[in-house]
Structure 1
Amino acid sequence: MPAALVWFRNDLRLADNPALQAALETGFEPIPVYIPAPHEEGKWAPGAASNAWRHRSLKALSHDLHQRGSRLVVRQGDSSQVLRDLIVESGAQALFWNRKYEPATQPRDAAIKQALRAQGFEVRSCNATLLVEPWDVQTKAGGPYKVFTPFYRNVMASLRARALYDAPTSLPAVPDALKGEGIEMLGLAPRLTWDRGFWDTWTPGETGAHEALDVFIDGALRGYLDQRDLPDRVATSMLSPHLHFGEIAPWRVIAQLEGARTAKLDTDIDGFIRQLVWREFAYHLMHHFPQTVEENLNPRFDGFAWEPATPSKLQAWQRGMTGVPIVDAGMRELWHTGVMHNRVRMIVGSFLTKHLRMHWLEGARWFWDTLVDADLANNTLGWQWIGGTGADAAPYFRVFNPVTQAQKFDPQARYIGRWVPELEALPVKVRFAPWESPELLRQLAPSYPRQPIVDLVQGRQAALAAYAGTG
């Protein structure tokens, strides 16, 4: 049988892998290939936390391939040249891959496809990432959406179930002559074990993704809508990094949710599917407005009066030492686990872009380096939304009050107590705004900042004044 290269990227799974399935169905013996090429990712090469996850996910994929009689061929270099070398060495007659949608990689992939097809080589790209392609959803006027709700309605009205494909039980052996590098040689894993806390929470790889989905359906799905905003408990799916690295297909997630549907779970399932469509919306925006990974979607804010990124204040925010407990709890959770609860992401983002009035890119870059689920589309959408500069960001002038947010969503201060343990000795009511009880703070939490790095009232007023100037 003829051979075909199957180029793995952010689709690190064997089940429901359209490129792999297409190669098999068209009669090719697949040769799995991985090419780390961060220099081709533009300004958004993967961050340290993403690389730590990718290291383990690649090892999991390699193990799964070995179990089926195949192996992953890893080569470093320019993607185009590595693929050409592999085609010559393997005698492959076709190349299959699953699409990436980032502004830097789309033109690269298009150029590779065009060049190889011009030489008569078969090249096919597939969709392994999204429920719908970004270009398949249009407004009635034929343009892209900038508001989520009509986008959501359009997607749901046209959404059709996709076929599910279990991982092949066996795969053809890759010829011994086709050499590759060891995953350990890629330098993705941290030299120092600063990521050790991640793996108390996460299991990268396809098996870990399916286990996370099963755990969610059996547990947190019940009451999801009521509890998803409460950071002191596991009330979300924990699927975001698995989806980003393509360890599970979004359509399989929906299929399993639908299989668990009962009258009692209807609203929770529908609420979670709505969150999946937010992910689709992020990719829709990134495809149609690729400049927004660096620039405001709304040009009204191009002249906005951002404050300079004062190193001391930015570092205090990054390290969870702002003096605002819910903000510090979120930033410390991020550092320890590689993730942050979504409600808290909004709070810390609002604090940075509104109270400190630093450019949303400062936050986007930090999240990019520290999140295991760092996804360019989602990261851009989230930071532009909270900064007021992006799609569906009304009211753009909303400023989250971190104290009242903590009181509402962490009423017993358990989340604060977990991640800011120096405040545990304080009475619960004091933990939300400890600077208001200076003597207790001095006596019971002497290592915690005496005051926030910005006065919350003054910071809010300054933000509103700056937003008033955008009109």
Structure 2
Amino acid sequence: MTSQTAIVWFRQDLRLHDNPALSLAATAGRILPIYILDDETAGRHRIGGAARWWLHHSLAGLDAALGGGLQLYRGRADEIIADLRERHDTSGVYWNRCYEPWRIKRDSAIKTMLTEKGIPVHSENGSLLWEPWQVLKADGTPYRVFTPFFRKGCLQAPPPRPPVAPPKRLETVTDPDALTLDDLRLLPEIRWDKKLGAHWQVGEAGARAQLERFLDDGLAGYREGRDFPARGNVSRLSPHLHFGEISPHQVWHAVSAGPADPDRDHFRYELGWREFSHSLLYHFPDLPEENLQPSFSAFPWQEDAAALDAWRHGRTGIPIVDAGMRELWQTGYMHNRLRMIVGSFLVKNLLQHWRYGERWFYDCLVDADLANNSAGWQWIAGCGADAAPYFRIFNPVTQGRKFDPDGSYTRRFVPELAALPDKFLFNPWEAPETALQQSGIRLGETYPAPIVDLKASRERALAAFQSMKSES
């Protein structure tokens, strides 16, 4: 083994299995495994509150897996890595690539700085099945429609590589200037995060256990069941994938190991949406801020702080919307069907800009991911790639009855309506006064009256959309 040290920079790859950068570095000799909390360079895209809670526990798990060898830092990554290079006999720096625009810019500058000093940099793909520059149309331009992106681009490209085995042996070194996990101050001062712990097993072991649970209990029936929030047909792997506690290659090959069927095919299709979102962010770096369809710059969004606050806290008076927003607050997660319902309500019934939703989700979701979140909100608003047409306005009453037919999901998160008959669960404002009294409900007191009329707000949204088209 060489006396030199390879720096392994963990980022969104907090695992030992299928970690190409770690495995490559381990063959070079001893390693200095580091994580840098770089809020300064991230700016507005610094990690949100719920995700910081997750990161705290994920780093603890990775540190344990490394035998206590993970070295932690806080500050500008370029300055910290430059300092580490000077204080350690560095043979090279290894990392797995990230794809957010601010990270690409930062990492490129760090790579230039290191190579100018004669330090080799090895960047690997540990986060995507296909690189964004691999999946392009025949004319070399990026796809803006999902189906051809996945079918003609991804599925016609070389298949995802098999997972890389974890290193058989790791010799780690420590740095006296490293911080403790508590020094990173990831946990909130007011410990609202304690409610999250009951819902998740954070870390690489938890990610692999969750994948096994999904394969055993959730994959069968996935194609249909994924739309019903009370069923167990969702993988709940999104935060594990975002933080890299498990890789998409591990998930893809585990799902593909069984016999082909519509459920497995559809789950791979959903992994394709994750790839599509990252491709969009890579090729359109303004995605978190600007409408992908410029015509939406003329859309007459409204400012309504009270309505926005009611939406954020699940007090809109629309039960299925409130259920979704309360699930988000209580668990740091929201079922995908609910993300579409609450998003449609915000940008269409309330005419609030999609960026308000994107930023709230980014702070409250444990799976907050810049690519997925930005692309998802632009899709909901009708201004993104392959977006749902703006005039497709979800009716939350119909959506509740269709996808929560027995009301078990809604009653779980809106317990003040639990005694209401199914007929009025999703539209309590239409319930007879006797039914409300028998259920212990006083609209406007024990549960809010609707903050908007669904029919009138739908017509208002369509008129706003038409006015935008007239001006463009």
Which TM-score bucket, shorter chain as reference? over 0.9
Say if 1:52 and 1:189, in contact at 8 Å, map to a contact too. yes
| Matching of residues 450-465 of structure 1 within 5 Å | 450-465=448-463
Q: Which letter does structure 2 place at the counterpart of 1:90?
A: H
Matched residue, 1:166? 165
Q: Which letter does structure 1 place at the counterpart of 2:43?
A: G
Matched residue, 1:9? 11
The equivalent position to 2:83 in structure 1, one of 79, 82, 85, is 85
Matched residue, 2:270? 275
Q: Which letter does structure 2 place at the counterpart of 1:15?
A: H
Matched residue, 1:228? 226
Q: Which letter does structure 2 place at the counterpart of 1:212?
A: Q
Verify: 1:380 aligned to 2:377, yes or no: no
Matched residue, 1:55? 56
**1:448–1:460 Cα change, 3 Å:** farther
Say if 2:130 and 2:160, in contact at 8 Å, map to a contact too. no
Say if 2:136 and 2:142, in contact at 8 Å, map to a contact too. yes
What is the CA–CA distance in structure 1 between the aligned matches of 2:88 and 2:251, rounded to whole Å? 36
- CA drift of 1:442 comes to 5.2
Say if 1:73 and 1:178, in contact at 8 Å, map to a contact too. no
What is the CA–CA distance in structure 2 between the aligned matches of 1:241 and 1:441, rounded to whole Å? 39
2:16 aligned counterpart, secondary structure: coil
What is the CA–CA distance in structure 2 between the aligned matches of 1:315 and 1:167, rounded to whole Å? 46
- CA drift of 1:450 comes to 4.9
Q: Which letter does structure 2 place at the counterpart of 1:57?
A: S
| Matching of residues 162-241 of structure 1 within 5 Å | 162-175=161-174, 178-241=176-239
What is the CA–CA distance in structure 2 between the aligned matches of 1:262 and 1:424, rounded to whole Å? 41
What is the CA–CA distance in structure 2 between the aligned matches of 1:315 and 1:438, rounded to whole Å? 29
Matched residue, 1:398? 392
| Matching of residues 429-444 of structure 1 within 5 Å | 429-437=423-431, 439=433, 440-441=435-436, 444=440
Q: Which letter does structure 1 place at the counterpart of 2:333?
A: V
Unaligned runs of 5+ in 2: none
2:74 aligned counterpart, secondary structure: coil
What is the CA–CA distance in structure 1 between the aligned matches of 2:288 and 2:375, rounded to whole Å? 9
- CA drift of 1:251 comes to 0.7
| Matching of residues 9-88 of structure 1 within 5 Å | 9-25=11-27, 27-66=28-67, 71-88=69-86
What is the CA–CA distance in structure 2 between the aligned matches of 1:104 and 1:165, rounded to whole Å? 28
Say if 2:128 and 2:248, in contact at 8 Å, map to a contact too. yes
Bigger mean CA deviation after superposition, 160-169 or 384-393: 160-169
- CA drift of 1:147 comes to 0.4
Verify: 1:417 aligned to 2:411, yes or no: yes
The equivalent position to 1:427 in structure 2, one of 396, 421, 427, is 421
Say if 2:40 and 2:75, in contact at 8 Å, map to a contact too. no
What is the CA–CA distance in structure 2 between the aligned matches of 1:201 and 1:182, rounded to whole Å? 26
CA displacement, residues 265-296 of structure 1 (integer Å, 9 cap, x when unaligned): x1101100100010000000001111111010
What is the CA–CA distance in structure 1 between the aligned matches of 2:397 and 2:359, rounded to whole Å? 25
CA displacement, residues 68-102 of structure 1 (integer Å, 9 cap, x when unaligned): xx601112221111111111222112101111111
Structure 1 runs, 4 residues or longer, greater than 6 Å off = none
The equivalent position to 1:318 in structure 2, one of 304, 312, 323, is 312
Unaligned runs of 5+ in 1: none
**1:44–1:441 Cα change, 3 Å:** farther
2:182 aligned counterpart, secondary structure: helix
Q: Which letter does structure 2 place at the counterpart of 1:278?
A: W
Say if 1:9 and 1:98, in contact at 8 Å, map to a contact too. yes
What is the CA–CA distance in structure 2 between the aligned matches of 1:464 and 1:364, rounded to whole Å? 22
**1:450–1:80 Cα change, 3 Å:** closer
Matched residue, 2:301? 306
What is the CA–CA distance in structure 1 between the aligned matches of 2:168 and 2:182, rounded to whole Å? 26
Say if 1:435 and 1:451, in contact at 8 Å, map to a contact too. yes
Percent identity between matched residues is 48
Verify: 1:330 aligned to 2:324, yes or no: yes
Say if 2:381 and 2:388, in contact at 8 Å, map to a contact too. no
Q: Which letter does structure 1 place at the counterpart of 2:259?
A: T
Say if 1:11 and 1:246, in contact at 8 Å, map to a contact too. yes
Q: Which letter does structure 2 place at the counterpart of 1:435?
A: W
